[in-house]
């Protein structure tokens, strides 16, 4: 994952400079430096994801700087923590654009947060590469200054569910998703496979982002008789689900997509 995000960082620096040579008069550009901003969930339920993303970005920047930087300029990375809270994402992006005056943005927290901050990014006009939450709403419609790197959530879920379906033919299915854009993407991908594979779905649940107690949800999963389970949460919630499943003594084949594994 870190290598994937590092590659995205290098793509950003290339994309920014292909459009035209950077000038010292541009925001975030001096004779010796290029300033790049990022806002990630370094705290909160998906903190591990934000930490991994920021590490990947730091590695790529360090490699680029060690190779001489971009046109003789070293890259400087400005990182803000949004705690996976949309209002803080918007605040953080405005801060790095208006106060730090970055030349470009990379990363940008989760799917719902990226969608919410899109008007700010479009208005700023600065080059932005989103590599943490690739949902289709970020490129539909296309935006001149926003680029998305990585497999879309919907496509990834389709591959995961198809794999589980082929490994577990004729089994009963259970699904639980988060009540945000990530959860919608997971469910959209899942539903497309349900129709194609004619899956027998016996449990379908939805939970509020940040939920910690899944005892009732997992009890319903057990009582449904589900033999295959798609856990559509983000890290901390998935861990809580797995603990409840262990307590209940059930062992469904469980699929967890990469943002929550």
Tokens of 172: 């009963």
Do residues 138 and 158 both lie within one domain? no
- Peptide bond preceding 195: is omega within 30 degrees of 0, i.e. cis? no
Do residues 110 and 158 both lie within one domain? no
161-214 pLDDT, tens digit each: 999 999 999 999 999 999 988 899 899 999 999 989 999 999 999 999 889 999
Last residue of a domain, one of 121, 148, 175: 148
Query: Domain span at residue 6?
Result: 2-148
Tokens of 234: 């983000």
Do residues 198 and 99 both lie within one domain? no
**Residue whose C-alpha is closest to residue 57's, from 82, 40, 81:** 40
Strand partners, 204: 175
Residue 7 binned pLDDT confidence (cut-offs 50, 70, 90): very low
Single pTM value for the model: 0.76
Do residues 7 and 32 both lie within one domain? yes
DSSP conformational letter for 114: H
Do residues 231 and 208 both lie within one domain? yes
Report the pLDDT averaged over residues 111-137: 92
82-91 pLDDT, tens digit each: 999 999 999 9
Do residues 137 and 45 both lie within one domain? yes
Last residue of a domain, one of 148, 174, 203: 148
Last residue of a domain, one of 148, 179, 199: 148
- How many domains are contained in the chain? 2
């Amino acid at each position: 994952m870190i290598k994937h995000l590092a590659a995205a960082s290098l793509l950003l620096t290339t994309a920014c400079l292909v459009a035209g040579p950077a000038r010292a008069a541009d925001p975030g550009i001096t004779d010796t430096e290029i300033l790049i901003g990022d806002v990630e969930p370094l705290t909160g339920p998906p903190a591990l994801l934000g930490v991994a993303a920021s590490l990947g970005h730091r590695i790529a920047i360090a490699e680029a700087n060690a190779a001489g930087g971009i046109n003789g300029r070293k890259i400087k990375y400005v990182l803000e923590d949004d705690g996976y809270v949309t209002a803080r994402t918007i605040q953080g992006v405005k801060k790095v654009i208006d106060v730090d005056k970055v030349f470009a943005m990379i990363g940008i927290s989760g799917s719902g947060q990226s969608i919410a901050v899109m008007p700010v990014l479009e208005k700023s006009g600065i080059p932005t590469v989103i590599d943490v939450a690739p949902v289709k709403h970020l490129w539909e419609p296309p935006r001149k200054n926003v680029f998305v790197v990585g497999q879309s959530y919907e496509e990834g879920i389709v591959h995961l569910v198809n794999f589980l379906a082929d490994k577990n033919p004729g089994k009963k299915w259970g699904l639980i998703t988060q009540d945000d854009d990530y959860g919608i993407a997971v469910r959209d991908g899942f539903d497309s496979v349900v129709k194609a594979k004619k899956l027998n779905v016996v449990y379908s649940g939805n939970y509020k982002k940040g939920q910690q107690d899944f005892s009732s949800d997992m009890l319903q999963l057990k009582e449904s008789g589900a033999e295959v389970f798609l856990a559509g949460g983000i890290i901390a919630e998935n861990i809580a689900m797995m603990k409840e499943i262990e307590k209940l003594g059930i062992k469904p084949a469980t699929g967890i997509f990469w943002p929550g594994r």
